[in-house]
Structure 1
Amino acid sequence: MLSLGGDQVEEAVADAVALLRTATDRDWEAVRAGRLEWSCRYTAEHIAGDLIAYAGQLAGRATEAYVPFEITLDDGTDNEGVLHVVETTGALLAATLRTTPREVRAFHPYPFRSADREGFAAMGITEVLLHTHDIAEGVGLSYEPPAGLCADVLARLFPHVRPGEDPWRTLLWATGRGDLPGRAPLTEWRWRNNLVIEAGRLTLQGVTPAAAGDLAAGGDGGFAWVDGGPYQGTRDAAGMLLKAYEAGVHRPEWGVFALVRREDGRAVGGIGFHGPPDEDGRVEVGYDLVEAARGLGYATEGLRALTAWALERDEVTSVCATTEPDNTASQAVITRAGFRRVRVAGEGAEQYAYELRG
């Protein structure tokens, strides 16, 4: 799996700066940046400010709020100087990404109040792409960033957006900067970093469409798995998540999660929902563990945490699960998590159905 990191940040910055350098002789202060209320000059400074802020969040291991600092350019800094600052802050973010462990998460407000290094890489790249577009529009330049970068940030930060044939046009539409045939214009938008749920010895880490695509294709999804992982059930669930994303019906918080051990950052299994709650407020869960991690209580911890999170949502009245009659290990997990058996489900090969109500 190609992870987003320092290389991709540097690629985005280099491509953007190369274009904007062709217009440094123009008055960026007097021209608005595209549809923004900001000037082109302020927008360029904003790019640099975001890049260094993201580096600061990760380097400072900030978990509760933004690190309280901002970047200020010297008086008299010209447009070329601004671009030099953009290059420098991009290099600082890239270096920070390369030295930050995968399991580190730092504060960012949207929407679950944290992001990992890949999330900050994606946000930094998105800021560069979008605001370079804004500046280019203001000064009359044509800008077309690498399609692969656009597709990557969409699959990580916009899991709720149906991908289109043209990733760049889709990203512009998703951020209120353009139109797409058959889709209503957007006036408000937010990107979405993945949800992480604390679960005792584990964390439940939301699988993005980018990770799901890799898992479904036989990769590791960007996770470090214990020997034998991931289990086929996790790959199958990732494939269903990917189909929902491609159809534009994926709701990330009701998707798939990797069960990751705190002690070593290794994934031991997968858990998640079969989809969002139905009209009666019922949501179904499923899970599996790599064989080497079974019998240690991980599935029970993960299931308890996931069901508790679900039952705290106003739209959920009950959490359901099914298992085969001969799968006594799974039945024991479900029972320990507080579920009770309510009926036999299915035709032909019968299944036991369990329910936990709020």
Structure 2
Amino acid sequence: MREMGGDQVEEAVAGCVAALRPAVDGDWAGVKAGRLDWNCRETAEHIAGDLIAYAAQLAGRAQQAYVPFEFTLDGTDEGLDPVDNPGILHVIETTGALLVAAVRTAPREVRAFHPYPFRSANREGFAAMGIAEVLLHTHDIAEGLGLSYEPSAELADGVLTRIFPHVQPGPTPWSTLLWATGRGDLPGRAPVTDWRWNNNLVIPAGRLTLQGLSPAAARDLRLGGDGGFEWIDGGPFEGTREAAGMLVKAYEAGVHRPEWGVFALVRTEDGRAVGGMGFHGAPDEDGCAEIGYDLVESARGHGYATEALRALSEWALARDGIRSLFATVERDNVPSQAVVSRAGFTQVSADGDEFAYELRG
């Protein structure tokens, strides 16, 4: 799987600078940026500020809050002349390079603080957020200055499938991203007035972490790839690939709820994936959600599935309105029956070749 990383940040920043350079002689401070309340100069400063802020979060491994520093373009406090428009573009290039370096040097398992919605993001998340800021605010500035601008479909799709997993794909990735952030219209969809992006959920589980799959990762797994994970010998089992396909279908239908999706089970000791676990969909109207899981064959017999199931069940039953969890196990799959039993599930029925288990909150 091609990860969203430094190359894509570079592409986004280069596209921004190329789009705005023809207007460097204009009055950026006197022109409003698209639908924003900021002028074009303030919006350009915001791009640079976000790029360096994301680089700082990731490089500094911030865990509880934003790194406490302030970014400004103006040098008036030191008696210097304000930065001109070519200088602003140079600052965007420079802060973009800092984010590129932070993304490229951060190990895959590193996560740092970001508030939306689960209070952390990995290097791919910070890259996607930085790219989103660049694409969207370049659009705003270009609209204000009367310039044409449209990034590549691949960049826009990368942002959507990493940090907008709750947004149903539309006619094109760019038009969908503009609609999802209140900057455009799509046929048959109501205008968006309030929005947030959505980094993946990570749940600690003893020797493992459960890492929520993005639509991009699920799409790659469904097609036979690794989903961006380093797997132990044997790679993902077929059940994980099937579950990833279900996630993709839900995403394409606009009914995917990321926290009720599929998780890769990743060992904390070495960052390698050993299996998959997740929900068959969002909870039903009675507050019941169904869980499924599998492990790579060489990972079985080590207690990983039990640890993961306990952690995921505890997380799920702590959500508002969730009354019970449900799992089905084949009659001849004795090891899996032991897993659900150790995790606190109780057998409630037997139907043909399957046993049904329930865990109530």
For this structure pair, what is the TM-score category when the shorter chain's length is used for normalisation?
A: over 0.9
Q: Which residue of 2 aligns with 1:357?
A: 360
Residues 14-44 of structure 1: CA distance to partner in whole angstroms, max 9, x if unpaired?
0110110100100000111011000100000
The one of 122, 127, 143 equivalent to 2:133 is: 127
- 1:96 aligns with 102
Q: Residue 164 of structure 1: CA displacement?
A: 1.3
Q: Secondary structure of 1:332's match?
A: helix
Once the two structures are overlaid, the 10-residue window that deviates more, 276-285 or 73-82, is 73-82
How many residues align? The count is 355
How far 1:314 sits from its partner (Å)? 1.1
> Aligned ranges for residues 276-287 of structure 1 at < 5 Å?
276-287=282-293
Deviations 1:76-96 (A, max 9, x none): 210110100000000010011
One-letter amino acid matched to 1:10: E
Cα separation, 2, equivalents of 1:59 and 1:12: 20
Aligned to 1:142: 148
CA distance in 2, matches of 1:229, 1:286: 18
Deviations 1:143-190 (A, max 9, x none): 111111001110011101111121101000000000000100010000
**Is the counterpart of residue 293 in structure 1 residue 299 in structure 2?**
yes
Greater Cα shift, 158-167 or 114-123: 158-167
Q: State the 4+ residue runs in structure 1 displaced beyond 3 angstroms.
A: none
Aligned residue for 1:342, secondary structure, equals: strand
Which segments of 5 or more consecutive residues in structure 2 lack a partner in the other structure? 77-81
Aligned-partner Cα distance in 2 for 1:24–1:250 = 43
1:7 is aligned to 7
After superposition, what is the alpha-carbon deviation per residue over 1:37-91, rounded to whole angstroms, capped at 9, x for unaligned? 0010000000000000000001100010000012222242101101000000000
Please, which runs of 5 or more residues in structure 1 have no aligned partner?
none
Counting only pairs closer than 5 Å after superposition, residues 42-191 of structure 1 correspond to structure 2 as: 42-73=42-73, 74-75=75-76, 76-191=82-197
Instruction: Tell me the secondary structure at the aligned position of residue 193 of structure 1.
Output: coil
CA contact (8 A) 1:58 1:117 kept: yes
Which of these residues, 193, 205, 211, is aligned with residue 199 of structure 2? 193
SS at match of 2:244: helix
CA RMSD of aligned residues (A): 0.7
- The structural deviation recorded for 1:344 is 1.4
Name 1:232's counterpart in structure 2: 238
SS for the counterpart of 1:354 is strand
Query: In the aligned structure 1, how far is the partner of 2:93 from the partner of 2:258?
Result: 33
**For the residues of structure 1 that align with 2:70 and 2:127, how far apart are their CA atoms?**
19
CA shift, 1:336, in A, is 0.2
Q: What residue number does 1:248 align with?
A: 254
Quote the residue 2:39 is aligned against. Answer: 39
**Which residue is 2:322 aligned to?**
316
Question: Structure 1: which amino acid aligns with 2:157?
Answer: A
Q: CA deviation at 1:257?
A: 0.1
Report the 3-state secondary structure (helix = DSSP H, G, I; strand = E; otherwise coil) of the residue aligned with 1:243: helix
Normalising by structure 1, what TM-score?
0.98
Deviation at 1:119, TM superposition (A): 0.2
Aligned match of 1:257: 263
* Cα distance in 2, alignment partners of residues 2 and 171 from structure 1: 20
| CA distance in structure 1 between the aligned counterparts of 2:252 and 2:15, rounded to whole angstroms | 28
Deviation, structure 1 residue 142: 1.1
Q: What's 1:325 paired with?
A: 331
Identity of aligned residues (%): 74
1:350: Cα distance to partner?
2.7
Name the SS of the counterpart of 1:29 in structure 2: helix
